[in-house]
Amino acid sequence: MIEARDLTKYYGRRLAIDHLTFHARKGEIVAFLGPNGAGKTTTMRILTGYMPPSEGEAKVAGFDVVEESLEVRRRVGYLPETVPLYDDMTVWDYLEFMGSLRQVPNLDDRIAEILDRVGLIDRADSFIGTLSKGMRQRVGLAQAILHQPEVLILDEPTLGLDPKQRVEVRELIREIGRERTVMLSTHILPEAQALSDRVLIINKGRIIAEDTPEELQLRLLGAQRVRLRVRGAQGAQGLVAHLQRLPGLLRLHVHDAEHLEIEAKPEEAEALRSRLARAVLDAGYDLLEMCVVSMSLEDIFLQLIQDESAEAEAPADVDLTAKEA
Ligand SMILES: Nc1ncnc2c1ncn2[C@@H]1O[C@H](COP(=O)(O)OP(=O)(O)OP(=O)(O)O)[C@@H](O)[C@H]1O
Ligand SMILES: [Mg+2]
């Protein structure tokens, strides 16, 4: 269990995270998804008790990360962004060292089991300095789960792994997540979607969206966006209401005098495009342009940030049905 309220961190005068409130329950995998500098690592360092927040509070496995940081560290497995490894130790010796610090019972068996899980059993006697980047990452993961912690905090767990390894590590995380609480960070949208039960999108230190991967998919990716330019669209309430009733349409935004943007169910997107074109023309309007808007992760952030700032001023979604009623 992770509970954070109003977590805020300043580095000097730089605000790194800004009143983050979130939670992760037992058996849940929560992903922090955000671009570089969003505040993912900062948040995770606070959650693991390595750094106090400037404001706010967090409890991990029932313990306060500031007041009871030792208890927290005992119960948390942490894969830091850069794993501090000892190059002149063998993989086995390193895990033995970490395991004895944490008083792991049946340590030898446990190490063998973990090495097998992370695909490094044949490198047990290799010096860490001789491992590839992905292998080092897996050693980091191995030490994070060695003591079977209640809570796992994984900062970009699949960074530097090859595709096959990525799949295997995800599998492993999913398995662990069934019985524990996992919070991971990533800047890869498909990864957040593949792995997590809930995604928190973080940008510039703020959570700007929170959703299940399915919803996120629908809202942001799976939903195809189509932009229309229709002469005189704004104020044409009848037309817009008519378009809104077209089958396959999920959302409709009126951007400005001429631009409409719609989201379509992916499987109906193509049919919807022809329905849209026909509906506009049938209603006697000029369709000046129609294009499919493809969305990259950057677009998604931009969209969310825009939605967010627009919400502060005016509703982003024009609810025309309400206006007409
Ligand atoms: N030790 C530090 N001293 C000063 N500023 C810092 C420090 N660590 C992070 N920051 C700043 O805090 C903000 C958040 O950084 P953070 O490392 O938490 O982002 P992140 O989401 O983990 O990014 P990335 O995807 O690049 O790992 C950034 O503006 C960063 O420059
Ligand atoms: Mg980071």
Highest mean pLDDT: which range of 145-154, 208-217, 240-249: 145-154
Range of the domain at 103: 2-217
Residues 54 and 23 in one domain: yes
| Tokens found for residue 217 | 């998919």
What is the model's pTM? 0.74
> Is the C-beta atom of 138 inside 6 A of ligand 1?
no
Q: Answer yes or no: are the C-beta atoms of 29 and 42 closer than 8 Å.
A: no
- The DSSP call for residue 125 is T
Q: Which residues of 248-282 are buried (b: 16+ CB within 10 A; e: fewer)?
A: bbbebbbeeebbbebbbbeebbeebbebbeebbee
Q: What is the pLDDT of residues 267-316, one digit of tens each?
A: 788 888 999 999 999 988 999 999 887 565 556 666 666 665 555 544 43
Q: Which residue out of 14, 155, 156, 201 has the highest number of ligand 1 atoms within 8 Å of its CB and is therefore the one to mutate?
A: 14
Domain stops at, among 160, 193, 217: 217
pLDDT of residue 140: 93
Residues 211 and 259 in one domain: no
Residues 94 and 179 in one domain: yes
Residues 44 and 168 in one domain: yes
CATH code, domain with 6: 3.40.50.300
Residues 127 and 265 in one domain: no
Residues 162 and 251 in one domain: no
Residues 12 and 70 in one domain: yes
> Is the C-beta atom of 13 inside 6 A of ligand 1?
no
Residues 191 and 59 in one domain: yes
CATH code, domain with 238: 3.30.70.100
pLDDT of residue 301: 61
Domain stops at, among 165, 190, 217: 217
Q: What is the pLDDT of residues 64-76, one digit of tens each?
A: 999 999 999 999 9
Domain stops at, among 158, 186, 217: 217
Which residue, by CA, sits nearest to atom 12 of ligand 1? 16
Residues 227 and 179 in one domain: no
Higher pLDDT, 28 or 161: 28
> Is the C-beta atom of 39 inside 6 A of ligand 1?
yes
Strands 181-186 and 29-33: parallel
Ligand 1 atom, smallest distance to 44 CA? 18
Q: What is the pLDDT of residues 233-257, one digit of tens each?
A: 777 788 888 888 998 888 888 888 8
Q: What is the pLDDT of residues 37-72, one digit of tens each?
A: 999 999 999 999 999 999 999 999 999 999 999 999
Residues 232 and 187 in one domain: no
Specify the number of domains making up the chain. 2
